[in-house]
Chains A and B, each alone.
Chain A
Amino acid sequence: MKANDARGAAAGFGAAFGRDAAKAAASGETILEARDLRKEFPIRGRAGETKAGKAAAKAVVRAVDGVSFRLGRGEILGLVGESGCGKTTTGKMIMKLLEPTGGRILVDGRDVTRTAKGDEIAYRRRVQMIFQDPYASMNPRFTIRGVLEEPLLIHGLGTSGTERLAKIREVMERVKMVPADEYLDRYPHMLSGGQRQRIATARTLILSPGIIVADEPVSMIDLSTRAEILSMMKAVQRDMELSFLYITHDISTARYFTDRIAVMYLGKIVEVGPADDIIDHPLHPYTKALIAAVCEPLPGKVDVIKELPITGEIPSAAEIPTGCRFHPRCVHRMDRCARNEPAMKGIGPGHEAACWLNEPSPEVR
């Protein structure tokens, strides 16, 4: 009974999504938009015990502190930052695994920030996720066939076992797990990390989604096979015109994989632009530090550990610094950086950064 309701809701909602998607394709418009997205987590502790405790009870971690971006159809946007910058929390909000404290999420132009419980199942047909750990994201007691069949059963797709099997074979071919029959009856532990991440990708594709949120999909994959997985994902993304939100700490894979890069620091996007532009002409000191931190050995150039243009460590999101949140670690900090927070400012085509260095100082003028 419950499943039927869900299916009914899925049909109505899904159809609306489908129509909008077609419209979006025709006009090349934004598929996914985040507007001033916020997520606060209350800090639990000695709440109520003492007077100070009462004040502490109101303290929050501002994990995501006003994030806005647009993702176009068939586009790959990289969300790049270090641990604690809020990139995963942003991805989880887009996936509707976490409810935002503020701001809005628009998919195909529809506000989906607060959808009813029943609509969530339809939403997840449109927006799918690939997780970081291919070992933890699959039920070890399911065979590969079971792993791939489950979403079809949940969403009521495929009327017969043969129909579902045909669909499973099709997606396994897409992710290059061929011949499919050789893997169908295996268990996840019998596959390598790379193969598991292929199956995880197939599991998202089987619902023909429009948007995929991939949270560090290759960070646990060995170097020698990492490129292969990224190439496979990119081929699938192009063939199926998928929109990808690629969340990573690794700016060098982001250059290969993404069209645009948004750099996050302590809950905010500090720079966004075309991937090549961001890496060849970074404007924000934090982006510069992230790029300098990449150590890439080249023949004859093995001294790759450089002194970085950054000091200290990322502060706690419970105590975000005043003014520019990066100023305590910045090597270019000025007086105004501690007082006023710079806004995002357009510098080149599609290239924006939030840094006072890019604006003439009123004190000088």
Chain B
Amino acid sequence: MTDETILQVKGLRTYFNTDDGVVKAVDGVDFSLRKGETLGIVGESGSGKSVTNLSIMNLIPNPPGKIMGGEVIYHDTDLLKLSDKGIRAIRGNKISMIFQDPMTSLNPFLRISNQMIETIVLHQKLSKSEARAKAIEMLVLAGIPAAEKRIDQYPHQFSGGMRQRVMIAMALSCDPEILIADEPTSALDVTIQAQILDLMKELTSRLGTAVIIITHSLGVVAGMCDTICVMYAGRIVERGSVDIIFEKPMHPYTRGLIKSVPRLDRKNGARLYSIQGQPPNVIDLPDCCPFFPRCEHAMDICKTKYPLVHDDGNEHRVACWLYGREGK
């Protein structure tokens, strides 16, 4: 990891128009990604983590969704201002994605070879046979045994873990600078999950790829990431290095989330912690701290104003009124 910032998201807002009102799925998200860094975006369902990343790739279906504001600066280009053609040259090439369910992201009617070669030929000026060689090379790297034979098989002939390996091979086949992985292991069994995460970690560090991992699993971010962003109701409520987040979490939501992880070393019958209340409805959210109804430390100001971001040094930032108001 170097200090060179390659992707910068500033004030990103993505809204969806629904019959019930405007859903502010992403409402002012800022973060940056450095070369070779692994960044984790963690949050529960509806927190806006997937929409954030679909927005980066300009993949929000419009209507009903619309990117209302903000910038996504990749090197010196704002991806949100690019034409369809311009973004297509980057998508799958410089920035590629892995989705949760490998079965639905592979075309069941096409051989793996067709799907991989198509991508490589499109983005890198290689001939078909060169592209095939490159595809086989990537499959071997991803740990697919007998890759020269298996490349001509169809997706259903692969197991769930093997399919995710194919997805990883495909995503890395154009040497992307950034890999976005949306819940890459959530559909896999626990004993396979570790193998796939290991593979991702090893391949991306070898190729120097920066990674954004979107997940609801604190275990996955802890094991994979350098930096963590915690999202709640469309905003990043805390950001810091993985050590700081797990050592000294500041936001009451982050603390609650870490305490909620069921731990194997606790005896049977021990009380499991959970955050009181329900996740908020993101329709027509008022401009207050969305976490205050569930927060043990809620104060009057939390109900009227969204907290300012407080920087604790060490690039540890938190949006909570508990911090940074000394002397006021």
Q: Which residues of A contact B (CB under 8 A)?
A: 82-83, 192-195, 222-228, 230-231, 249-253, 255-256, 258-259, 274-276, 279, 289-291, 293-300, 302-308, 310, 313-314
- Identify which of residues 193-224 in chain B touch chain A, using a CB-to-CB cut-off of 8 Å: 193-195, 197-198, 201, 216-224
Q: A313 and B242 in contact (CB under 8 A), knowing A223-B261, A231-B271?
A: no
In the bound assembly, the distance between CA atoms of A255 and B195 in angstroms comes to 24
Report yes or no: A308 in contact with B191, Cβ–Cβ below 8 A: yes
Q: Which of B51-59, B97-105, B272-280 participates in binding chain A?
A: B272-280
Residues of B close to A314: CB separation below 8 A: 189
A314 CB to nearest B CB, Å: 7
Most B CB contacts (10 A, CB to CB) among A83, A252, A276, A291 go to A252
Report yes or no: A82 in contact with B264, Cβ–Cβ below 8 A: no
B222 CB to nearest A CB, Å: 3
Report yes or no: A304 in contact with B262, Cβ–Cβ below 8 A: no
Report yes or no: B162 in contact with A226, Cβ–Cβ below 8 A: no
Which residue of B260, B264, B268 is within 8 Å of A224 (Cβ)?
B260
Residues of A close to B222: CB separation below 8 A: 295, 297, 302-304
In the bound assembly, the distance between CA atoms of A223 and B230 in angstroms comes to 14
A230 CB to nearest B CB, Å: 6
Residues of B close to A298: CB separation below 8 A: 246, 263
In the bound assembly, the distance between CA atoms of A167 and B218 in angstroms comes to 40
* Chain B minimum-CB-distance residue to A218: B262
In the bound assembly, the distance between CA atoms of A9 and B42 in angstroms comes to 53
Determine whether B45 belongs to the interface, using a CB cutoff of 8 Å to chain A. yes
In the bound assembly, the distance between CA atoms of A175 and B263 in angstroms comes to 25
Report yes or no: A249 in contact with B247, Cβ–Cβ below 8 A: no
Q: A225 and B275 in contact (CB under 8 A), knowing A297-B222, A304-B219, A308-B194?
A: yes
Report yes or no: B219 in contact with A227, Cβ–Cβ below 8 A: no
Report yes or no: A223 in contact with B219, Cβ–Cβ below 8 A: no
A57 CB to nearest B CB, Å: 20
Residues of A close to B44: CB separation below 8 A: 222-224
B230 CB to nearest A CB, Å: 12
Q: List 26 A-B contacts (CB under 8 A).
A: A82-B189, A193-B45, A222-B45, A224-B274, A224-B279, A226-B262, A227-B273, A231-B271, A249-B190, A252-B263, A253-B262, A255-B267, A259-B268, A279-B264, A293-B191, A295-B217, A295-B222, A295-B223, A296-B264, A297-B246, A299-B247, A300-B243, A300-B247, A305-B194, A308-B194, A314-B189
Most A CB contacts (10 A, CB to CB) among B160, B190, B223 go to B190
Report yes or no: B194 in contact with A251, Cβ–Cβ below 8 A: no
- Contacts A295-B222, A305-B201, A305-B219 aside, 5 further interface pairs with beta carbons under 8 A come to A297-B261, A298-B263, A305-B198, A305-B223, A313-B159
Q: Which 3 A-B pairs have the closest CB atoms?
A: A295-B219, A297-B222, A227-B274
Determine whether B80 belongs to the interface, using a CB cutoff of 8 Å to chain A. no
A280 CB to nearest B CB, Å: 9
In the bound assembly, the distance between CA atoms of A291 and B190 in angstroms comes to 9
Residues of A close to B264: CB separation below 8 A: 251-252, 255, 279, 291, 294, 296
In the bound assembly, the distance between CA atoms of A279 and B264 in angstroms comes to 8
In the bound assembly, the distance between CA atoms of A223 and B264 in angstroms comes to 15
A157 CB to nearest B CB, Å: 31
Residues of B close to A304: CB separation below 8 A: 219, 222-223
A360 CB to nearest B CB, Å: 29
A81 CB to nearest B CB, Å: 9
Report yes or no: B274 in contact with A297, Cβ–Cβ below 8 A: no
Report yes or no: B260 in contact with A192, Cβ–Cβ below 8 A: no
In the bound assembly, the distance between CA atoms of A299 and B247 in angstroms comes to 5
Residues of B close to A253: CB separation below 8 A: 262
- Identify which of residues 236-286 in chain B touch chain A, using a CB-to-CB cut-off of 8 Å: 242-243, 246-247, 253, 256-258, 260-264, 266-276, 278-279
Q: A313 and B161 in contact (CB under 8 A), knowing A224-B275, A298-B246?
A: yes
Residues of B close to A289: CB separation below 8 A: 191
Residues of A close to B257: CB separation below 8 A: 223-224
Chain B binding surface, main DSSP class: helix
Determine whether B192 belongs to the interface, using a CB cutoff of 8 Å to chain A. yes
Report yes or no: A228 in contact with B274, Cβ–Cβ below 8 A: yes
Report yes or no: A302 in contact with B242, Cβ–Cβ below 8 A: yes
* Chain B minimum-CB-distance residue to A298: B246
B311 CB to nearest A CB, Å: 22
Report yes or no: B197 in contact with A305, Cβ–Cβ below 8 A: yes
In the bound assembly, the distance between CA atoms of A49 and B217 in angstroms comes to 48
Residues of B close to A223: CB separation below 8 A: 44, 216, 218, 257, 260-261
Most B CB contacts (10 A, CB to CB) among A258, A293, A302 go to A302
In the bound assembly, the distance between CA atoms of A77 and B264 in angstroms comes to 17
In the bound assembly, the distance between CA atoms of A265 and B236 in angstroms comes to 41
Which residue of A194, A195, A310 is within 8 Å of B191 (Cβ)?
A310
In the bound assembly, the distance between CA atoms of A255 and B264 in angstroms comes to 7
Report yes or no: A231 in contact with B242, Cβ–Cβ below 8 A: no
B275 CB to nearest A CB, Å: 4
B314 CB to nearest A CB, Å: 16
Residues of B close to A295: CB separation below 8 A: 194, 217, 219-220, 222-223
A284 CB to nearest B CB, Å: 13
Q: A222 and B216 in contact (CB under 8 A), knowing A256-B272, A276-B268, A296-B263?
A: yes
Most B CB contacts (10 A, CB to CB) among A193, A227, A305 go to A305
In the bound assembly, the distance between CA atoms of A297 and B263 in angstroms comes to 9
- Identify which of residues 52-102 in chain B touch chain A, using a CB-to-CB cut-off of 8 Å: none
Report yes or no: B198 in contact with A290, Cβ–Cβ below 8 A: no
In the bound assembly, the distance between CA atoms of A307 and B275 in angstroms comes to 32
In the bound assembly, the distance between CA atoms of A83 and B242 in angstroms comes to 31
A52 CB to nearest B CB, Å: 18
In the bound assembly, the distance between CA atoms of A194 and B191 in angstroms comes to 27
Residues of A close to B279: CB separation below 8 A: 192, 222, 224-225
In the bound assembly, the distance between CA atoms of A296 and B190 in angstroms comes to 12
Report yes or no: A307 in contact with B219, Cβ–Cβ below 8 A: no
Residues of B close to A290: CB separation below 8 A: 190-191
B186 CB to nearest A CB, Å: 10
Report yes or no: A303 in contact with B223, Cβ–Cβ below 8 A: yes
In the bound assembly, the distance between CA atoms of A145 and B139 in angstroms comes to 54
